[in-house]
Structure 1
């Protein structure tokens, strides 16, 4: 895979696993993260270029893409907008600061990265933008209202953008992972009878998507059909299914101590 690929939010979790997978396939990968120490450590371990980036800042994101292309010695082929945060808990208790930061990173960060990448890709008529959304963008869960809203926005934005540029040589795709074992789900239980994905599962799906571009990929694949079928069910059955899986309580009855480190990190200012 001889492509130049930049990934945001790649110091850990899905972003890091994706960088590892794509590097292993021969791509020239540049990783970015707002955590300078973490991205430097991750880059050293992978043998790639690691850069600090604040996806909410046009100047920072532009500098990241410029530096990524300079380090790679060629134009950007793929941008993976992966950076995101996930505050959880009762909607009435969500702070205004959490709401603004979540939307700034999860929504505006994706929009900004997409626009900046399109500015580079459209003139030459090639490129691929992959926005890491979530099944939370199409399946809504108590205790996850803020994150649900942000990822629903990413799903809608990605699809509308894809349609707009579909005939201009640039692919735009969304990846919708289910529960994945990263810091985002710290202190929460898994849905009953279901096993969480690993970051490597999402990384494999992203690598496959680069090889064969498609509008949208659900991970794991089997959940894609279940989501479509579930949308056709009456409200009463959907709520009963949610209760049976424990989804009505997962993000309300969680262990706050287990999330302290993650919550402190996502609430820290750049």
Structure 2
């Protein structure tokens, strides 16, 4: 059987939520290199604009044509804001071909010590942010008979890790939602692709202070971005980064509960998040805690006090 030709991305439009930094920023860079037009949506508009300016300068255009990247204010928790983002991108750059729900936050603490505000904030961003994006973009994709939804989850969506109960729960939701959406689109005969990205611990501010594990190394935002590009060219649902994490997930998944927990302990995965360094995470935790513009910034958690 002949190999299917990779999908051409040149000239297509991508919208990325939480695209001002980390995985989102590197995904924007990678897509621009492929010749795509990219919209960066972020709660921090000033940073999104700075990122767009940086990428406009750093990424060479094709055939002497400058890259096309724009920044937009976006609060994924607010459905109206998501709709306005999608409308603005399509007015400026044309119909969206790829919608990358990348925005997410992670607070690390034990479940019993976690505040209700922290739990709600992660659910709002990690769950409702993905829901809002899918609700706004999928009707357009279905109507056009094309489109690719990329939901960035995590390996935490495949297992529960001590110290990140709420985060794991939100990422389990993203994986399950993505699988169900894919099934519904297939049942309806809609030619729309869905990809669920499940990285191991990524070397970004979100993962600051987390411990290394044996067997599955931390990955870079560039590696995640490259995997997303690959999945856009040759569409597939499951995207594990690194690929070995997918193999490990499959192998470990056939073990009984006690066996899975034993492997996690042997690899140090059971301690990777719950033993994260609070001092190294302080700046990120406080920024994430204040990420809802409708709330006053909270006082620093006692566990993060110097």
TM-score band by shorter chain is over 0.9
**235-244 or 124-133, larger mean C-alpha shift:** 235-244
Among candidates 28, 35, 44, match of residue 37 of structure 2: 28
Among candidates 76, 79, 98, match of residue 58 of structure 1: 79
TM-score for both structures, normalised by structure 2: 0.86
1:172 is aligned to 194
2:140 matches 1:120: yes
Give aligned pairs, total: 269
Q: 1:61-76 to 2 correspondence within 5 Å?
A: 61-72=82-93, 74-76=94-96
Q: Tell me, what secondary structure is at the counterpart of 2:23?
A: helix
Among candidates 255, 261, 272, match of residue 250 of structure 1: 272
1:162 is aligned to 182
Q: Tell me, what secondary structure is at the counterpart of 1:249?
A: coil
TM-superposed CA distance for 1:235, in Å, is 2.2
2:26 is aligned to 17
**243-252 or 213-222, larger mean C-alpha shift:** 243-252
Report Cα offsets for 1:91-113 as digits up to 9, x if no partner.
10111101111011101110110
Return the alpha-carbon distance in structure 1 between the equivalents of residues 279 and 13 of structure 2.
40
Report Cα offsets for 1:12-69 as digits up to 9, x if no partner.
1100000000001100011111112211110111122011100010111111111111
Return the alpha-carbon distance in structure 1 between the equivalents of residues 185 and 271 of structure 2.
40
1:227 is aligned to 249
TM-superposed CA distance for 1:194, in Å, is 3.8
Return the alpha-carbon distance in structure 2 between the equivalents of residues 165 and 246 of structure 1.
39
Q: Tell me, what secondary structure is at the counterpart of 1:251?
A: coil
2:232 is aligned to 210
TM-superposed CA distance for 1:139, in Å, is 1.9
Q: Tell me, what secondary structure is at the counterpart of 2:51?
A: helix
RMSD over equivalenced CA pairs, Å: 1.1
Structure number with bigger Rg: 2
1:188 is aligned to 210
2:120 matches 1:111: no
1:38 is aligned to 47
1:197 is aligned to 219
TM-superposed CA distance for 1:193, in Å, is 4.8
Return the alpha-carbon distance in structure 2 between the equivalents of residues 60 and 175 of structure 1.
24
Return the alpha-carbon distance in structure 1 between the equivalents of residues 162 and 276 of structure 2.
12
CA contact (8 A) 2:145 2:192 kept: yes
Among candidates 125, 137, 151, match of residue 131 of structure 1: 151
CA contact (8 A) 2:216 2:245 kept: no
Q: Tell me, what secondary structure is at the counterpart of 1:91?
A: coil
CA contact (8 A) 2:200 2:216 kept: no
Task: Name stretches of at least 5 consecutive residues in structure 2 with no aligned partner.
Answer: 1-8, 57-68, 294-306
Task: Name stretches of at least 5 consecutive residues in structure 1 with no aligned partner.
Answer: none
